[in-house]
Amino acid sequence: MSLVSLQWTGIPESQVGMAAEISHCFPWTPSTLTDVPKPPALVLNFSCCSLPARCSGSAAKSLLFRFLPFLRWLPRYPVKDWLLGDIVSGFSVGIMHLPQGLAYALLAGLPPVTGLYSSFYPVFLYFFFGTSRHNSVGPFAVISVMIGSLTESLVPSENFVESVNGTNVTNEELRDAARVELVATITVLTGIFQVALGLLQFGFVVTYLSDPLVRGYTTASSVHVLVSQLKNVFGVSQGEHSGPLSLFVTVIDLCKKLPDTNVGTLVTAIIAMVAILIVKELNHKFAAKLPMPIPIELITIIVSTGISYGVNLNDKFGISVVGNIPSGLKPPVAPKISYFGQVAGNAFAIAVVGYAICISLGKIFALKHGYKVDSNQELIALGLSNFLGGFFQCFAISCSMSRSLVQESTGGNSQVAGVIASLVILVTILKIGELFRDLPKAILAAIIIVNLKGMFKQFRDLSTLWKSNRVDLLVWIVTFVATLLLNLDIGLAVSVAFGLLTVIFRTQLPHYSILGRISDTDVYRDVTEYDLAQEVPGVKIFRSSSTVYFANVELYAEALKKKVGEPPASECFLCLLPASSRVVLGQLDTGTHCFNVENGPGPAVIELSGGESSQPSEPSLQSLGLPQPSFHTVILDFSPVSFVDTVSIKILKNIFKDFQEIEVDVFVAGCGGEGDLQSHEPWPGRASFGTQLIAQGVPPGFPQGTGAAGCDMDPI
C-alpha cells in the first residue's frame, strides 16, 4: 500500500505523514510504507481518529441520550424498588434546602428569597441533564461566599445611603435589586463557561485542582464564611470590605465594635448553635436507628420564627430579622451584559470551583454504588442549571456534601429525589415563604457556622500530609494562606500557579539511577538500592524518573556523566584528550563542541551541519595509546519519558557525539513517548533510527533475548 493509495482512500496528507513517522517508531517496521506487508495494520491505527461520522437516526438518538441522560434511565426506572426511597429522601433533602437556601442567600449578600429560587430551579433542571444519582445540587457555602465578596465590592451598601430626618439610612430595597441584577449576570456567565468547557470536552480542567489544593481552598473559604457571619452573631453593623487582606480588616473592625454587641442577638445565636450541634451529633450517633435525620435546622427556624413573632424580638430587643419574603415566582429577566467584563474572571473561578466540588462528590458516590459519572456531561448539567437559573434570579450553585449524604442515607437512588426536593421548595415559595419574615438573622448565621464543622475538620490534613507527602502539605498551606490573605479569587489563581510550579520543580529534581539486572530475570532495578541488581558487564543502563524536556535536559546530561563515571561531570568527553588527538579523532573544535559549563546554566546546543564528518577518523583510542572506557555501551531508559522537545533532541545529539568520540555506543530503550525523537537523524551520514538495531539485534555484550528495563531498544 503506497502513500498515493493512502491519499486516494481519503486519508489527509497530515495523517499520511503521521503514518510515515510511525513507520520509524517501531524496530520491526520497514523504513518506507511501500514495504508494509499488511495494510490493515495502518487501517486499524486510523480507526481511532476522530473522523466525521455519517448522520443517521441512531447517531442522533445517541447524541440526544448523551445530553439528556434521563431519557436513558427513566424508562427503566424500577418504581417498586426505588420510588419510596426517593420520596423519603426528597422530602428530607427539601427540608434541608429551606434553611440552607435562606442562610446561603444571606451569605451571598442577597435577599433570602433568592436562596429559595436557587434551591428550586437548578435542582429541577439537574434532573434532566445530570449523570450523578446522589448529588444534591443547590446553594453551597463556598460558592456563596465567593459571590458575597463580589456583591460587597461591586455593589457596596455605601452607594445606597440616604439621609432621612438627618440620619443616614441604607436603602436596602434598591441595594438588593442592584445586587440581584449583578449576581444573576454572574450566574449566567458562570453557566456559559461551564457549558462551553463541557462541549469542548474540557472536563479534565479540574485535574489542575489537586485534592490538597481543593481542601486547603475550601478550608480557607470556611474561615471567610465564619468571619462574614460574626456581625450577625454579635448583632453589630459593619462596613463591607473586599480585596487583599479584607479578612483581617473585617476582623479588626469587628473587634472595635464588640462593645456595641446586641446581647439578645448573641444569646439567640449561641442557643441555636448549641441546639443544632447537639442534635447533629445525635443524628450521627444513631444514624443506623433513625429512619431519617432529625431536621433540626428546620425545627430551629420554625421555633425561632414563632418566638420572634410572639415576643416581637425586633422591636423589644433590636434583634435583626429577615424581613419581607415575597411569595410566588417571578418572570425571567435578561442579564446585564455590561457587567460581563467586570466579573468574567470571578465567574470563571466560580465555574471551576463549583464543578470541582460537584464532580468530586459525584465520583465518590458513583464508586460506592457502582455506576459511572460522565465528567463532561456533569459540567454541561451544572452549566445549564446555572445559565437558566440566572434568568430567574438564582445565584451560582454547586453540590453540598451534607445534603448529598442525607439524600443517599435516606434511601435516595436517583434524581427523582431531587425533583421531589425542588417541589418542596416550590410549595414554600408559593405559600409558606412569607411566614418567615420574622426569622432572626442570627438563626441563619448559626446554621451557616454549624455547617462549617465538616470543613474545619480538614485541618487534620496537616498531620496526614506531613507523614505522607511534604510537597502536598506545602500546596495545602500555600493555598490556605494565599486564600486568607488575597481573598478567594486571587487566592485561587495563586494556588493553581503554585501547584503547577511544584510539578515543574519535581521534574527539575528527578531520581537518576544506573540499572542492573536481577539474576535469572528480566527485571532491572537501581543498583544502589537493590543488592541483587548487578550491572551487565560493559553496559551502563541510565534511567531518569522524569520526562526529559528543555527545563531539565542539561541536568539530565550532567547526571548521565556523573553516573557512568567517565569522564568527570565538569568536563566533556573530548576535552580529556590531548589537543593533537582531538584534531585527529574528530576534526572538531572543543569551543563549539563541549557543554557550556563555565558560562553558567542553560544548555549549550550545537548544530551539526551536513558538511561535518561525524564518523571517527581512521585512528582509534587504542592505536593512539589513549585510555579506553570500561564500558562499550550506554542504554538510556526512556520508559518514563512521555515526550521530548527540540532542545532535548539537540542535547541528546551532543551526548551521542561525546560518547561516539570515545567509541561508546548509545541506545534508547522504551522510546514510546510523543515528540520528534524518532524523526531525527542522530548525526549526518548515519542511518535513521532503528536501522542499526535491526542489523545487530541487541547491543553488543547484552544478554540475548532480553531488553533494557523490559523494553525494546532503539539506537539514537
pLDDT tens digits, one per residue of 137-154 = 999 988 998 999 889 889
> Could you tell me which residue, 591 or 91, shows the higher pLDDT?
91
Residue where one domain finishes, among candidates 409, 433, 456: 456
Q: What is the pLDDT of residue 21?
A: 38
Within-domain flag for 227: yes
The total domain count for the chain is: 3
Please check whether residue 397 is in contact with residue 139, taking contact to mean a CB–CB distance below 8 angstroms.
yes
User: Do 37 and 113 reside in the same domain of the chain?
Assistant: no
Q: Which residues contact 509 (CB under 8 A, 6 or more apart)?
A: none
**Predicted confidence (pLDDT) at residue 55 exceeds the cutoff of 90:** no
Residue where one domain finishes, among candidates 456, 483, 500: 456
Q: Which residues contact 520 (CB under 8 A, 6 or more apart)?
A: none
User: Do 105 and 32 reside in the same domain of the chain?
Assistant: no
User: Do 31 and 94 reside in the same domain of the chain?
Assistant: no
> pLDDT tens, 156-213?
888 888 877 777 788 888 999 999 999 999 999 999 999 999 999 887 777 778 889 9
Q: What is the pLDDT of residue 617?
A: 52
Q: Which domain holds residue 681?
A: 511-715
Q: What is the pLDDT of residue 379?
A: 93
User: Do 88 and 39 reside in the same domain of the chain?
Assistant: no
> Could you tell me which residue, 611 or 672, shows the higher pLDDT?
672
Backbone angles phi, psi at 653, to 5 degrees: -60, -45
User: Do 305 and 415 reside in the same domain of the chain?
Assistant: yes
How many residues in total does the chain contain?
Answer: 716
**Predicted confidence (pLDDT) at residue 96 exceeds the cutoff of 50:** yes
Q: Which residues contact 442 (CB under 8 A, 6 or more apart)?
A: 232, 233, 235, 265, 266, 268, 269, 272, 319, 320
Residue where one domain finishes, among candidates 411, 440, 456: 456
Alpha helices (H) in 200-295, listed in sequence order: 211-234, 246-256, 263-285
**Predicted confidence (pLDDT) at residue 372 exceeds the cutoff of 60:** yes
User: Do 691 and 590 reside in the same domain of the chain?
Assistant: yes
> pLDDT tens, 623-665?
677 777 888 899 999 888 888 888 989 998 988 888 888 888 8
Q: What is the pLDDT of residue 52?
A: 45
Q: What is the pLDDT of residue 618?
A: 55
Q: What is the pLDDT of residue 51?
A: 41
| Buried-exposed string 458-474: b where 16+ CB fall within 10 A, e elsewhere | beebeeebeeeeeebbe
Supply the CATH number for residue 669's domain. Answer: 3.30.750.24
**Predicted confidence (pLDDT) at residue 575 exceeds the cutoff of 90:** no
Within-domain flag for 75: no
Within-domain flag for 502: no
**CA–CA distance from 284 to each of 88, 297, 405, 448, 457 (Å)?**
18, 15, 11, 18, 15
Within-domain flag for 564: yes
Collapsing DSSP to helix, strand or coil, 540 comes out as strand
Within-domain flag for 615: yes
**CA–CA distance from 238 to each of 183, 229, 481, 538 (Å)?**
22, 11, 24, 77
Q: What is the pLDDT of residue 183?
A: 96
Q: What is the pLDDT of residue 347?
A: 94
Rounded distance between C-alpha atoms, residue 544 and residue 527, angstroms: 14
Q: What is the pLDDT of residue 504?
A: 86
Q: What is the pLDDT of residue 139?
A: 94
Rounded to 10°, the helix 141-154/211-234 angle is: 60
User: Do 430 and 554 reside in the same domain of the chain?
Assistant: no
Q: Give how far the C-alpha of residue 356 lies from the chain's centroid of Cα atoms, to the nearest Å.
A: 7
Mean pLDDT across the stretch 88-113?
Answer: 91
E strands, 444-538, where? 512-518, 524-526, 533-534
Rounded distance between C-alpha atoms, residue 127 and residue 123, angstroms: 7
Collapsing DSSP to helix, strand or coil, 202 comes out as coil
Q: What is the pLDDT of residue 233?
A: 93
Mean pLDDT across the stretch 496-510?
Answer: 87
Q: What is the pLDDT of residue 164?
A: 75
**Predicted confidence (pLDDT) at residue 568 exceeds the cutoff of 90:** no
Q: How confident is the model at residue 566 (pLDDT cuts 50, 70, 90)?
A: low
Q: What is the share, in percent, of the chain residues with pLDDT greater than 90? A: 41
Q: Averaging pLDDT over each range in 237-241, 244-248, 383-387, which range is the top one?
A: 383-387
User: Do 132 and 10 reside in the same domain of the chain?
Assistant: no
Residue labelled with grid coordinates 541487541: 698
Rounded distance between C-alpha atoms, residue 89 and residue 421, angstroms: 8
> pLDDT tens, 547-556?
888 888 899 9
Residue labelled with grid coordinates 418542596: 424
Grid coordinates representing 323 are 424581613
Mean pLDDT across the stretch 267-293?
Answer: 90
Rounded distance between C-alpha atoms, residue 240 and residue 408, angstroms: 39
- Which residue pairs, CB below 8 angstroms and at least 24 apart, start in 19-28? 19/45, 19/46, 21/678, 21/679, 24/678, 24/679, 24/688, 24/689, 24/690, 25/671, 25/678, 26/690, 27/690, 27/693, 27/694, 27/712, 27/713, 27/714, 28/694
User: Do 553 and 447 reside in the same domain of the chain?
Assistant: no
User: Do 192 and 335 reside in the same domain of the chain?
Assistant: yes
Within-domain flag for 56: no
Q: Give how far the C-alpha of residue 117 lies from the chain's centroid of Cα atoms, to the nearest Å.
A: 29
> pLDDT tens, 293-328?
888 988 999 999 999 999 999 888 889 998 888 888
Residue labelled with grid coordinates 584528550: 577
Q: What is the mean pLDDT of the chain?
A: 79
Q: What is the pLDDT of residue 561?
A: 87
Within-domain flag for 694: yes
Mean pLDDT across the stretch 105-120?
Answer: 93
> pLDDT tens, 413-467?
999 999 999 999 999 999 888 888 899 999 999 999 998 888 899 999 999 999 9
Q: What is the pLDDT of residue 662?
A: 84
Within-domain flag for 515: yes
**490 exposed, middle or buried (CB, 10 Å; 0-12, 13-18, 19+)?**
middle
Mean pLDDT across the stretch 402-418?
Answer: 90
Mean pLDDT across the stretch 403-409?
Answer: 88
Q: Which residues contact 16 (CB under 8 A, 6 or more apart)?
A: 3, 6, 7
User: Do 560 and 639 reside in the same domain of the chain?
Assistant: yes
Grid coordinates representing 422 are 425542588
Grid coordinates representing 710 are 523490559
User: Do 13 and 157 reside in the same domain of the chain?
Assistant: no
Rounded distance between C-alpha atoms, residue 282 and residue 290, angstroms: 10
